[in-house]
Amino acid sequence: MPGARTIGLLLSAWAVGASAAEPPPPEPPRVFFAEPRIATVVGERQPEVSFAMAHLSALDRYLEYVVGAAPPQGSGARVELADVVGRPDVEARAAAGHMLIVVRPGETLAFADRCAEAAARAWLGRVALSAGVAPAAEPWLVQALAAESLVQLRPALADLWLREASLSPAPAYAELAAGRASMREAFLLWRCLRQELPGPEAVAALPEMARGRRLAALLAARSRDPEAWWPLRRSELLLSRSPVSLGMRESSEALDDIAAFVFDLGAGDAVFTGPEIVPHRRLAAVRQGVETRLRGLRREIIRQNPVYHNAWRSLGLWLERFQDAEPVELEALWRQFERERKDARSLQYEVETALRAAGG
């Protein structure tokens, strides 16, 4: 039947044309992951995931190398980057023993604050959950750790905050503890507390506060009235403010100090260069001494004069490789450090000579 065959062909052609006219199904969104130690970061845009990861890693480095706090154990955390209309900029909740933090992306400065807050909530939440209790840190502590994350990535921010605070009165302690003051003031409160507590006590206090211990109770145990202690300590902190970057001479002297090792290797205390202690690196005292130097270098390098930055970084690489590298590698790294230090001293001499000539 030719008519039926023709109709069939027409219907088939129509079906092919209709299917070709239909838009293809949308591709499923790509999901990117990053896994710093504090939390897994998940998002649909790689730059945002990397940006968030940088803030989590910065807080991790600060807590380990500056404060000396151990990484949280047990429970995990997940930071999801999602622009959900009607939701808070940062939303955190504990579920099934894990922390889930949802962060809304935004313009750079606002997003940085949100990522830093997410890092703080993830760390504090994990510490609490690993002890079997719900996250209960005071709001000021979340702000303070978020501030430290930002300062690790933007060192000049600390000096800016200190200068701004010197022109502003201290907020009331109750407002500050409740999180109703600025991040800057929470940052200052944390710095004041670290000055108040010896190192081991500060390390022990942080997990306790993550699990709900109030700062007022911590200070009361040391016979401190928070309302009187806070403005006094804040004033002392502001008066002792160091410059954000050391001068060339100060950076050079500090580098010489950190690159000279004093140990008793059987003949009383003596000063050694790096290569001279390599044969003794299995000794506990040498190993611990180098680890202490490395922590100090990581803490202080951000304050060094740019002229000496490369020399400080080269020494840091030698310290990092001290335990595991072959002696020939350590020798090469030390020679690189000495070249960088020599170049920095030459540049310092040229700069100082030019400045003296300009002034006279």
pLDDT of 14-25, one tens digit each?
455 545 556 666
Contact indicator for 99, 135 with CB cutoff of 8 Å: yes
Query: pLDDT tens, 80-122?
Result: 999 888 888 999 999 888 999 999 998 888 899 999 999 999 9
- Which of the 8 DSSP states describes residue 132? T
Q: Which amino acid is at 44?
A: E
How many C-beta atoms lie closer than 10 Å to residue 359's C-beta?
Answer: 6
Q: In what order do the strands lie in the sheet with 32-34?
A: 32-34, 40-43, 77-81, 98-103, 90-95
How many C-beta atoms lie closer than 10 Å to residue 274's C-beta?
Answer: 21
Handedness of CA 186, 192, 194, 197 (dihedral sign): negative
pLDDT at position 301 is 84
Going by C-beta distance under 8 Å and a sequence separation of 6 or more, which residues neighbour residue 167?
none
Going by C-beta distance under 8 Å and a sequence separation of 6 or more, which residues neighbour residue 202?
67, 193, 194
pLDDT at position 242 is 64
pLDDT at position 1 is 46
Q: Encode 120-148: b = buried (16+ Cβ within 10 Å), e = exposed.
A: bbbbbbbbbbbbeeebebbebbbbbbbbb
pLDDT at position 199 is 75
pLDDT at position 25 is 67
Taking Cα atoms as reference points, which of 302, 202, 214, 304 lies closest to residue 252? 304
Q: In the structure encoding, which two tokens stand for residue 266, read together?
A: 């059987």
Percent of the chain, pLDDT > 70?
A: 89
pLDDT at position 75 is 77
Query: pLDDT tens, 203-240?
Result: 889 999 999 999 999 999 888 899 999 999 999 998 88
Region of poorest pLDDT, from 6-20, 126-140, 199-213, 251-265: 6-20
Q: Does the global pTM surpass 0.75?
A: no
Q: What is the CATH number of domain 32-239?
A: 1.10.390
Rounded to whole angstroms, the Cα distance separating 280 from 183 reads 46
Average pLDDT of every residue of the chain: 86
Burial of residue 234 (number of CB atoms within 10 Å: 0-12, 13-18, 19+):
buried
Continuous segment of H or E residues that includes residue 94: strand 90-95
Residue with tokens 């205390």: 269
Rounded to whole angstroms, the Cα distance separating 111 from 103 reads 8
pLDDT at position 106 is 83
Spans of all domains in the chain: 32-239, 248-359
* 360 pLDDT tier (thresholds 50, 70, 90): very low
Handedness of CA 56, 60, 66, 67 (dihedral sign): positive
Query: pLDDT tens, 283-299?
Result: 988 888 899 889 889 88
